[in-house]
Amino acid sequence: MNGNRNLKKEVSDNWEVGLAYLGDKLSYKVNVYYNDFRNRIFNQTLNKSGNLSLNRYNQSKAKYYGVEGRIDYALTPELRMGLFGDYVRGKLYDLPPTYRVDHVANSLEPVPQPDQDAPRVPPMRLGFRVNMEMTESLTSSLEYTYVYQQKKVAPLENQTAAYSLLNIGVDYSRQIAGVNYQLFVQANNVLNRKIYSHTSFLPFVPQMGRNVTLGLNIHF
């Protein structure tokens, strides 16, 4: 990966509109945003062979926009369910030219770059979660997320396949001698899906498969 000493500080105009409601049973939150960059810094792939790539930080105009939201409903005081999701798009404009060698004139010839999708933009997600208080001290949670295929990619960037992610957790909390203890067990990727993160700088490396975490939090 090559740096770029000619990069300038990013400047952008950002707009965001949100709507939220919090009630005894129903609550929801929706945000819509739009970011207009005059000189967005991004990591551009110049050449690629298999999983090896030559990258350089570059800069151009860019527009990012998206929406995110969630809605939760308490079926009972102990049982709460919810839906969530998000979507984002990124486009690059007025990119600086790349250069190729003109062997006849022994010089560098500029090559214009077209407008293109921004790299490493997360794909759309939809999911639901369930939280249950089984006793005063024992709570459980379940979260399922479906991540869609990312097909809107930058030049030389690989698409990433859709996948589903299921996480399940159980928490046990108590207070002893004025100190709060929380013992938790978290099972992640329960379905053991093969997951590739589109936002990673190493998108060809699979994320962790089925795994279980046991932990203890102490608050004093």
Residue 1 is predicted with a pLDDT of 58
Q: How many Å from the N-terminal Cα to the C-terminal Cα in the chain? A: 45
Residue 25 is predicted with a pLDDT of 95
Are 171 and 186 in contact by the 8 Å Cβ rule? The answer is no
The residues, any chain, with a CB within 8 Å of residue 127's CB and separated by 6 or more, are 83, 84, 85, 143, 144, 145, 146, 165
Residues 173 and 138: their CA atoms lie apart, in Å, by 7
Q: pLDDT tens digits, residue range 148-178? A: 999 999 999 999 999 999 999 999 998 888 8
φ/ψ bin of 156: left (φ > 0), alpha (ψ from -120 to 50), beta (otherwise) = left
What parts of the chain have a pLDDT lower than 50? none
Residues 33 and 44: their CA atoms lie apart, in Å, by 24
Three-class DSSP category at 166: strand
pTM beyond 0.85, yes or no: yes
Three-class DSSP category at 210: coil
